[in-house]
Structures are given as C-alpha cells and as structure tokens.
Amino acid sequence: MKINIYLIRHGKTKENEEKRYVGITDTPLSDTGREKIAKNKESGIYPADPDIIFVSPMKRCMETAEIIYPGREIVYVDDFKEINFGLFEGKNYQELNGDKRYQEWIDSNGKAPFPEGESLEGFSERIMKGFEFLKDYCRDFYTNSQDSDERIVAVVAHGGTVMAIKSSVEGGEYFDHMIDNGMFSRVEICI
C-alpha cells in the first residue's frame, strides 16, 4: 500500500531567528513562528486531515502540531528529536568562529561528529529507527481500518529529521533536502 508522508518542519524559534544551533534544547516557537504557522495553515498549504500525525516530543514541534491540527490525536516519536549539536548547542556562527573544532566540522562539510554530540551517521540511524516505527504503526493502522484511496500521514519534526528521512528514502546528500521553518516536503512509501 502507498502512503504519502508530509514532513513538516516546526515553526521558527527565537534561536532559529538568531541562527543558533539548536538541537536538544527544548525551545518554544517565537511569536513570529506561531504567526507564520497559523498563516500557512490558513492558506491551506498543509494536508488538511491526515490519518495519523507523528510528532517529535519537543515544545517547538508540539506547538506547531497543535496550531496546524488542534485537538487531534498525536503519536509522539522520541527518535524524531533533532540532532545533538554537542558543544555547538545554542551557539551561532559568530560565537563559534575561530574555534578549531568548529572549523574542522565546517571543513568536513558537516560530516564530522559534533564535539560531545551526535554524528550525522548516528543521528540518521536514530531517525530511521523512528521511521521504521512509523511504518510499522501505519501498517497496523491501515490493516485495521477501512481501505481508502489516499493514505496521508503528517510528521511534525525538525529540519534535521526531514533531511535524514528524505536522504535515506529518496537518496541524495543530507543537506540537499534542507527546508525552511514551517514548510514541508513529501515522501511516498510502499509498505
């Protein structure tokens, strides 16, 4: 069976606006982020009535999901949390410029592990473990529900989560799949 999965990146946070590396810090949406998500919803860009909504259990994702899908049942997926930026967490380019470890990470095209944080490979493996949970959940859900022509699932998560899923499912480089806050990308899977 085919399933269309809409991968929605959470709205902007204050830290996103300041261009900080924010992974494991549990930050809420900024006022601007909330307004943009509400405006996007009003314009109808998100899938209106997905069968299942999977969400990273971090404030910025939970808030985004609540704005887009108020009162809907949510399936939280811990493995969909953003990457752990380690020593870079909460800092921006200006604060990291001149740091030898940061320069090494830049020189690796983002492929070196974050100092005291996750590696891109380990992060992607964790995300895909969560994606396997999503597929199993969908398989059970759709097996036990009435058949429909269009199966639609929403995932509200992080930029890194979206990039990891897209690069694993569709191929290409991780950073080729970057999307802006509040926007989405779609993948189609067969289970």
Q: Which residues are annotated as a binding site for substrate?
A: 9-16, 60
Query: Quick one: which H or E segment has residue 6?
Result: strand 2-9
Taking the C-alpha atoms of residue 134 and residue 156, their distance in angstroms, rounded to an integer, is 12
Taking the C-alpha atoms of residue 124 and residue 174, their distance in angstroms, rounded to an integer, is 9
Report residue 110 as tokens. Answer: 């983002």
Answer yes or no: are the C-beta atoms of 97 and 37 closer than 8 Å.
no
State the distance between the two ends of the chain, measured CA to CA, in whole angstroms.
5
Report residue 19 as tokens. Answer: 């261009």
Binding residues: 9-16, 60
Q: Say if residue 145 is exposed, middle or buried (CB neighbours under 10 Å; 0-12, 13-18, 19+).
A: exposed
Taking the C-alpha atoms of residue 33 and residue 75, their distance in angstroms, rounded to an integer, is 22
**Strands across the sheet with 152-157, in order?**
75-76, 52-55, 152-157, 2-9, 184-190
